[in-house]
C-alpha cells in the first residue's frame, strides 16, 4: 500500500536532489556534510513554520502545574505559551509571560506562580507528527533556502519560489479546513484563532 506521508528520509533526499547531490538510504550514522546541512535546514524551517501556530500544533486550556517551588516549567516542546484570562478565572488581571522555559509574573516580578493555570500552547512537533501538507511546505522551503545559500541560481530559485508559494497555500487551506471542523463552533477558540490569523497576516506583509 502506498505511503501517503513524506518520510524525513524522503524529504532529505528531495532537498539533496535540488542540490544535485546523491540520495542516501538512511539517516543513521555519520553522514556527508550535504546531508547534515539538509537535515539542519529541514529542522530550522520546521521550527520557523510551526512557530506561527497552527491548528495541528496548538492546544487550548492546557493545564500547567507549578512545582514545589511554585514555578511553572514549560514543556521542552513549547514554542509559545499564552495565558488567556478567559480560561483562568483565578488569574485576575495578572500578566503572565513566557521567559525561557518558565512562566513569569510580570506584575509581581516573580517566577513563583503558586497555582495551576490553563494556557494556549503552540508546540514544536517532530517530523512524524506533522500533517502531509505542512511536510511538503517545510521541505520545499528548506530546499530552496539551502539551495540559495549553496548555489543561488536565479532561474532555479524562481521555480522553487513558485513551488513554495503553492505548498504554502495548500498547507494554509488544510489548516483552515481542519480548524473549521472543531474551532469555529467555539467562541473562545474562534477568537484565539482569529487573533493568530490576523497576526500571521501582518507578519506576512512584512516578509
| Percent of the chain topping pLDDT 90 | 70
Contact between residue 122 and residue 79 where contact means Cβ atoms under 8 Å apart: yes
Task: For 18-53, write each residue's pLDDT tens digit.
Answer: 999 999 999 988 999 999 999 999 999 999 999 999
Task: For 152-177, write each residue's pLDDT tens digit.
Answer: 778 788 999 999 999 999 999 999 99
Give the pLDDT band of residue 185 (cuts 50, 70, 90).
very low
Task: For 186-202, write each residue's pLDDT tens digit.
Answer: 555 555 555 555 555 55
Per mean pLDDT, which range of 97-111, 148-162, 172-186, 193-207 is the poorest?
A: 193-207
Which cell is 157 given? 530559485
Domain range summary for the chain, segments of one domain joined by +: 8-51+125-205, 55-123
Amino acid at each position: 500500500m502506498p505511503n501517503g506521508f513524506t518520510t524525513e528520509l524522503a524529504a532529505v533526499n528531495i532537498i539533496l536532489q535540488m542540490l544535485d547531490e546523491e540520495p542516501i538510504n538512511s539517516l543513521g550514522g555519520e553522514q556527508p556534510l550535504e546531508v547534515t546541512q539538509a537535515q539542519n535546514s529541514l529542522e530550522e524551517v520546521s521550527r520557523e513554520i510551526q512557530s506561527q501556530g497552527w491548528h495541528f500544533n496548538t492546544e487550548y486550556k492546557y493545564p500547567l502545574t507549578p512545582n514545589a517551588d511554585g514555578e511553572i516549567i514549560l514543556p521542552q516542546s513549547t514554542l509559545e505559551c499564552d495565558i488567556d484570562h478567559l480560561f483562568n478565572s483565578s488569574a485576575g488581571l495578572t500578566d503572565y509571560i513566557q521567559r525561557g522555559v518558565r512562566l513569569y509574573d510580570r506584575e509581581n516580578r516573580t517566577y513563583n506562580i503558586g497555582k495551576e493555570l490553563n494556557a494556549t500552547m503552540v508546540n514544536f512537533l517532530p517530523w512524524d507528527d506533522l500533517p502531509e501538507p505542512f511536510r511538503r511546505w517545510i521541505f520545499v522551503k528548506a530546499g530552496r533556502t539551502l539551495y540559495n545559500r549553496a548555489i543561488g541560481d536565479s532561474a532555479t530559485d524562481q521555480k522553487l519560489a513558485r513551488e513554495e508559494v503553492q505548498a504554502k497555500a495548500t498547507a494554509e487551506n488544510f489548516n483552515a479546513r481542519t480548524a473549521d471542523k472543531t474551532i469555529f463552533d467555539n467562541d473562545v477558540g474562534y477568537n484565539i484563532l482569529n487573533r493568530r490569523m490576523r497576526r500571521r497576516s501582518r507578519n506576512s506583509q512584512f516578509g
